[in-house]
Amino acid sequence: MTIKIIMDTDPGIDDAAALTMALNDPAIDLKLVTTVAGNVTVDKTTKNAQKILRFFNKDVPVAAGAKQPLIKEFEDAARIHGESGMPGYDFPEDLPKPLDKTAVEALHDEIMSSDEPITLVPTGSYTNIALLFNEYPEVKDHIERIVAMGGSLGMGNMTSAAEFNVFTDPDAAKIVYQSGIPIVMVGLDITMQALLTPESLAKLEHMNKTGKMLHDIISNDGDNSEAGIAMHDVNTIFYLLHPESITTESMWIDVITDGPAIGETVGDIRGAYHEGRTNADVCVVIDSAAFNKWFLEEVAAISD
């Protein structure tokens, strides 16, 4: 059985790696890619998604989405991902055109035409998803779950409280967490555990064409340390394929939409304030060695 997914994304270096895994693992059926402003502007994230699809000669439709958050002023992450969003490798430039419809329209059409519920995998801000739910609430009954990169129970990476994806559009995140759809929160709590180690990165360079491409762009990722490089978005795909390697805790998540803690995801860790209700399974522990092993095996299995 394959897992039918839609990726809503903002490539971005780790997004590109997540797309690589989703496009090439036989257990995943990627039906649609929608793009959003996030790591860089939406024209660049759309082009970057198309570059990855072109690199693998995959015919997955791409639809461009929101240029800015619902309310908050847009702030990109070019300081981490570079001005293009995906520096370090010369990708083909003969790119197909995106769909002649908005991301919201493409999401609606793909979800409603599917013969089974689809899993949404947002790895950028959640603006497109929030707009979808506002305009077409009927789609909620046709979504299996949302496996979303974003949030944190502890420290943020934009402020001491907020993680980037949720900080970028907290109002959209609030809509998503109040949607009633099962959500898996793949946040900094695990993505900062499962670093791609320097040893793993070095192995990629000489593995195959895909390994060289990933090595070259990941080497330009500003989100790094001596311990390794955070592959935040790739953790969503790892969760889909290997949930046994990740520990989750069910709780209620509230999203702060204003003030100095804007973008914070507040977990009711004691179950004290929402009458025992939960709205998310929050990833809290990951087998980082298993993540690195899987990452290398996935890349090695891709034919040049």
Q: Which one of the listed residues 108, 232, 242, 274 is annotated catalytic? A: 232
Q: Please list, in sequence order, all residues whose beta carbon lies within 8 angstroms of the beta carbon of residue 189, skipping any fewer than 6 positions away.
A: 152, 153, 154, 282, 283, 284
Tokens for 81?
A: 């991902």
Alpha-carbon distance values, 214 to 14, 190, 221, 297 (Å): 9, 21, 11, 14
Q: How many CB atoms lie within 10 A of CB 43?
A: 12
108 a catalytic residue = no
Alpha-carbon distance values, 290 to 112, 157, 295 (Å): 36, 24, 8
Alpha-carbon distance values, 289 to 175, 184, 189, 236 (Å): 35, 21, 16, 16
Q: Pairing relation of β-strands 224-225 and 228-230? A: antiparallel
Name the residue with tokens 């995801």: 265
Rounded to whole angstroms, how far apart are CA atoms 148 and 159? 20
Name the residue with tokens 């559009």: 169
Name the residue with tokens 């950028």: 124
Asked whether the beta carbons of 64 and 103 are under 8 A apart, the reply is: yes
Q: Pairing relation of β-strands 280-286 and 195-196? A: unpaired
Helix locations, the chain, DSSP H: 13-24, 42-55, 78-81, 103-113, 127-135, 164-168, 170-177, 188-191, 198-205, 209-218, 234-241, 288-300
Name the residue with tokens 């994304």: 9
Report, as residue numbers or ranges, the catalytic residues.
232
